[in-house]
Each structure stands twice: as C-alpha cells, then as structure tokens.
C-alpha cells in the first residue's frame, strides 16, 4: 500500500524573505508625493480665489509663528496649510533622494538622478513661493510657481509609472507602436494651456476684461481658444486607441479617461467663465482636473513608450 501523495504546500516565509522590495517602497513614496502635490495645487488654487495669497504677511512663518492660532481664519488657514503641505512635500522629496541613493543597486539607474531633479524643483518651487509673498503676488512669479509645481508633479508621476511592472501588448502593425507620441503631444499641449490659465488667473484677466481692460481680454480669450489644440490632441489619442482593439486594457483605460477628463475640464472652464469666477469650488476643480489630465496623459506616454519594444516584437513575429 503506497502512501498518498500530498499536494505541495508553500513554504512559510522566513525572516530573510523581504516583504517589500525597494522598488515597491520607492514607487509607493512617489505615489504619495503625487497625491500630496495634487492637494498642494488644489489648496493653492483655493488660496488664490479666496484672495488669501498674502494672508500670511511674512515667510516662511506666518505672523512670526509656526501655527498662527490667534490670527487664524479661513484665509490664513488656506495660506498656512498650503505652506504646511509644501513643507511636507519637501521632506518627502529629501527622503526620496535618500532612499534612491541607498537602494541604487536595486533600482533603475535613472532613479537617483531623477530624485535629485525632483529635489531641485522643490527648492525652486519653495523660492518662488517665498517670492510670491515678498513681491506681492507678481503675476510672473505666480505663473512660474504653478508651472514649476506641474513640472514637479509630472516628474513624480512619470517616475512612479515607470516603476510599474511591465505590461504585454499585442499590436499588429509596427505603425501602431507610435501611439505613445500622441500621449506626449497631448500632455505638452495641456501643460502649455495650464500655463496660460495660470497667467489668466494671476492677472485676474476675466475680471479686468469685464472691467474694460482690452489688453487682458486678449489673454483671457487666448486661454479660451487655446483649449482647441489639446482637446483635438486628446481626441486623436482616444480614437487611435479605440482603433487598436489589441492594445493593453490599461492603455485603453488611460486613453478613454483622458477623453472624459478633457470634457470635464472644458465644462468646468466654461462654467467658471460664465459665472465670473464667483463659484470658488469650480475654479479649484478646474485646476485639479487639469493636473489630473496631465498626469493621465503622461502615464499613457510612459507605459506605451516603455513597453513599445514588446509591441514591435509582436509586430514582427506574429503571423
């Protein structure tokens, strides 16, 4: 009589088995940074529409205090919390650099220099934040402040996406492997449109235009008509992805999400225009959705470009 064969059971994990790989930890830190940056830009937009940019008259403290409890009101809270979130992002970025250097042998070789670039952007962003207060909200500085924040956000999102596991695609024609350029072009156009929007906001162009300042009307209408190029670029990406049924489902989801986000962004933009910026949550949502759209397009670009050799391989080997 033979003994029954028992199914193999997985061996219990030992103390030497790592629960989290360095690449997973760094990727998790990057996603936390991306979320914190989204919150930072949303609070910055709320600070702007609430006329709270100078609620704290000094920098880096607020009324000479770490927590201005006696002076606290909505405007002071918005500006104070904006600085608090920015400080948190700075500390997290320093930790990102430390971890990237510490685990450099287990991470892609580009991670340490990218983390240093992110830290440089944080330092520049902090300097611009100080200048917005000391230079009394000059529109050039306010615009550069948002532009740098978006660059930092883009750097963090692209790094986090690049650390995701590889995906497999089954694209039939080699030409289809170029779809990543559609995502890149759309992302660049969205970024430029965001800068024009920051210029409109920092100069209060809508209010000034309605008050009779025709020079600012040109800036405002430039932003309104400037929505056309990025919208067409996103629409081209959506149609291109739709025509590729074998494209990876994640890329399909990112492409279609970008289409929904751009429609929502247009609706929010025209809503803020026709309501003359009187509904502050609409303006904040407009900024938040614009940044999310940028991140979605960049995620599509990185995944489609990074895994493009797999697509080309299938294109040349599949019958």
Statement to judge: residues 28 and 143 lie in one domain: yes
Q: How far apart are CA 22 and CA 104, in angstroms?
A: 9
The domain total for the chain is 2
* Residue range(s) defining the domain that contains residue 220: 170-319
| pLDDT greater at residue 131 or residue 210 | 131
Separation of first and last alpha carbons in the chain: 53
Q: How far apart are CA 161 and CA 108, in angstroms?
A: 13
Domain boundary among 117, 143, 164: 164
Query: For the segment 153-180, what is each residue's pLDDT rounded down to a tens digit?
Result: 999 999 999 999 887 655 444 445 689 9
Statement to judge: residues 192 and 312 lie in one domain: yes
Statement to judge: residues 195 and 217 lie in one domain: yes
Does residue 1 form part of some domain?
A: no
Statement to judge: residues 189 and 302 lie in one domain: yes
Give the least confident one: 25-34, 212-221, 296-305. Answer: 212-221
Statement to judge: residues 201 and 293 lie in one domain: yes
pTM of the entire predicted model = 0.85
pLDDT band at 34 (very low <50, low <70, confident <90, very high): very high
Q: What letter does residue 108 receive in the DSSP assignment?
A: -
Q: Note whether 187 and 149 are within 8 A (CB).
A: no
Statement to judge: residues 191 and 299 lie in one domain: yes
Statement to judge: residues 193 and 309 lie in one domain: yes
pLDDT value of residue 86: 93
Averaged over 108-129, what is the pLDDT? 95
Q: Is 60 exceeded by the pLDDT of residue 69?
A: yes
With helix as H, strand as E and coil as C, how does 138-189 read? CHHHHHHHHHHHHHHHHHHHHHHHHCCCCCCCCCCCHHHHHHHHHHHHHHHH
| pLDDT greater at residue 300 or residue 48 | 300
Statement to judge: residues 35 and 59 lie in one domain: yes
What does the mean pLDDT of the chain come to? 84
Averaged over 236-255, what is the pLDDT? 92
Tokens 């929904």 belong to 260
Domain boundary among 164, 183, 210: 164
Total residues belonging to the chain? 319
Statement to judge: residues 153 and 184 lie in one domain: no
Q: How far apart are CA 160 and CA 27, in angstroms?
A: 5
pLDDT value of residue 269: 85
């Amino acid at each position: 009589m033979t003994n029954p064969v028992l199914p193999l059971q997985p061996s219990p994990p030992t103390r030497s088995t790592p629960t989290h790989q360095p690449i997973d930890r760094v990727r998790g830190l990057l996603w936390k940074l991306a979320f914190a940056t989204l919150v930072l830009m949303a609070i910055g937009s709320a600070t702007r529409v609430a006329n709270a940019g100078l609620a704290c008259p000094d920098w880096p403290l607020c009324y000479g205090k770490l927590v201005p409890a006696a002076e606290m009101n909505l405007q002071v809270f918005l500006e104070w919390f904006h600085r608090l979130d920015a400080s948190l992002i700075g500390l997290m970025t320093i930790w990102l650099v430390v971890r990237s250097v510490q685990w450099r042998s287990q991470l892609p070789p580009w991670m340490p220099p990218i983390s240093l670039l992110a830290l440089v952007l944080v330092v520049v962003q902090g300097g611009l934040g100080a200048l917005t207060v000391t230079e009394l909200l000059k529109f050039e500085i306010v615009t550069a402040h948002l532009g740098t924040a978006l660059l930092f956000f883009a750097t963090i999102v692209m790094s986090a996406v690049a650390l995701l596991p590889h995906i497999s695609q089954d694209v039939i024609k080699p030409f289809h492997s170029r779809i990543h350029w559609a995502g890149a072009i759309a992302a660049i156009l969205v970024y430029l449109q965001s800068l024009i929007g920051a210029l409109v906001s920092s100069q209060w162009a809508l209010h000034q235009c309605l008050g009779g300042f025709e020079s600012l009307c040109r800036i405002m209408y430039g932003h309104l008509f400037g929505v056309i190029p990025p919208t067409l670029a996103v629409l081209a990406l959506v149609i291109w992805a739709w025509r590729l049924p074998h494209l990876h489902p994640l890329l399909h989801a990112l492409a279609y999400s970008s289409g929904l986000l751009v429609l929502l962004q247009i609706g929010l933009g025209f809503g803020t225009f026709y309501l003359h910026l009187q509904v502050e949550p609409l303006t904040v949502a407009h900024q938040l959705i614009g940044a999310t759209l940028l991140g979605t397009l960049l995620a599509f670009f990185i995944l489609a470009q990074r895994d493009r050799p797999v697509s080309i391989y299938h294109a040349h080997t599949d019958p």
